[in-house]
Amino acid sequence: MINLENPKKFRALVEQANHVAKEIFRPNSRKYDLAEHAYPKELDMLAALLDGMNAGGGSEGAGAAGVRRDATKDEGNRNSSNLSTVLGVMELCWGDVGLLLSMPRQGLGNSAIASVASDEQLKRFDGRWAAMAITEPHCGSDSAAIRTTAKLDGDHYVLNGEKIFVTSGERADLVVVWATLDKNAGRAAIKSFVVEKGTPGFDLIRLEHKLGIRASDTAQFALVNCRVPKENLLGDPEVNVEKGFAGVMQTFDNTRPLVAGMAVGLTRACLEETRKLLELAGVTIDYAKPAYSQSAAAADFLKMEADYEASRLLTLQAAWMADNRKPNSLQASMAKAKAGRTCVDVSLKCVELCGSLGYSEHSLLEKWARDAKILDIFEGTQQIQLLIVARRLLGKSSNELK
């Protein structure tokens, strides 16, 4: 029988995350939205929070949860680090998305390391904050079009290129950089390299000013003859055309459910605040009556709640599949697509329903509407997710369905 409640062993972690969101994230949310690029010092004492969540759910991972497929035996149903981290992320993003993204040692690069690194690399990079650099000025959603190059020279790879929109790029200790070993080999030659901050030839160009998640820094980097030890390449160094993009893309099987979880948490925040303001205005939401027999505002709210529940369940499914070593690329993209779009639609509708209270800084609704949009964009845009879902369902390759 399917049990849709939070696993008992994770309830204390969820409560802890909710307490942090309520007592630290929410009270500082507006402060760091207005003070863009200022580091939230209140987070220093929380640096090990999500590490603790992972430890409570399972031993794998290097800071953030990872999708590892090397299990050789069936251990039955597992509720482990991916599910616990997603549940914690939902609660923390109920508090503030930008502040979650600013938490030390919980960067998307940590998920990449946890997913595909060797045991030696896991130990070497343990406890360090890692960002992830994929996007380039000329290639956004099409990761296979990456032009940053990596050439083997003795015991080092020499990286040259430019990376933009690197979340936590300035604050992180490491940056996982995607680069190609051979432009003529296509997707199969795309590899990821761990570049340590301070490495010669790896320079911060600027920080972006953004619509939302302003508490989180977003950086642009230039790599000019940047020498990276060959031991810092994640995964197989061989270019295998038959395997294609599978090695580096495995990271997304983990990070997309996390982003979906962020969207689910923010959606819940919007719904709870809107319900409160609607009730103050005298609008009653009656679950015992059909939506068409209630006010337009109540009917809209019921529809938004239904979309929220669908997003939440898809997200939990994708995370559970990762914990149980099941291929979850389809489910990860479905969760990301549904949760990201729902978050944007719900946040904007909540602003609309609450009128001047939603549009002003009287509440956090206007901020949440600005924060929501990034959750439909980064880690693969809405359009890319739908394309991946279509390919998986129809059994088409990327060349057959573009």
State the pairing for strand pair 130-133/174-180.
parallel
Q: 222: Cβ–Cβ under 8 A, 6 or more apart, which residues?
A: 161, 162, 202, 203, 205
Which parts of 171-327 fold into alpha helices (H)? 246-280, 296-323
CB 75 within 8 A of CB 346: no
What residue has token string 């979340």? 167
How crowded is residue 179: how many other Cβ atoms within 10 Å of its Cβ?
Answer: 27
How buried is residue 138: exposed, middle or buried, by Cβ count under 10 Å (0-12/13-18/19+)? Answer: exposed
Burial class (CB in 10 A: 0-12, 13-18, 19+), 345: middle
Do the bridges between strand 202-207 and strand 156-167 make them parallel or antiparallel, or are there none, so unpaired? unpaired
Instruction: Please say if 379 is a catalytic residue.
Output: yes
Please tell me the distance from the alpha carbon of residue 112 to that of residue 178, in angstroms, as a whole number: 11
CA–centroid distance for 390 within its chain: 22
Give dist(CA 75, CA 58) in Å, integer.
13
Helices (H) and strands (E) in the chain, counts: 12, 8
Q: Which of 242, 273, 379, 400 is catalytic?
A: 379
DSSP 8-state assignment for residue 141: S
Known catalytic residues are: 379
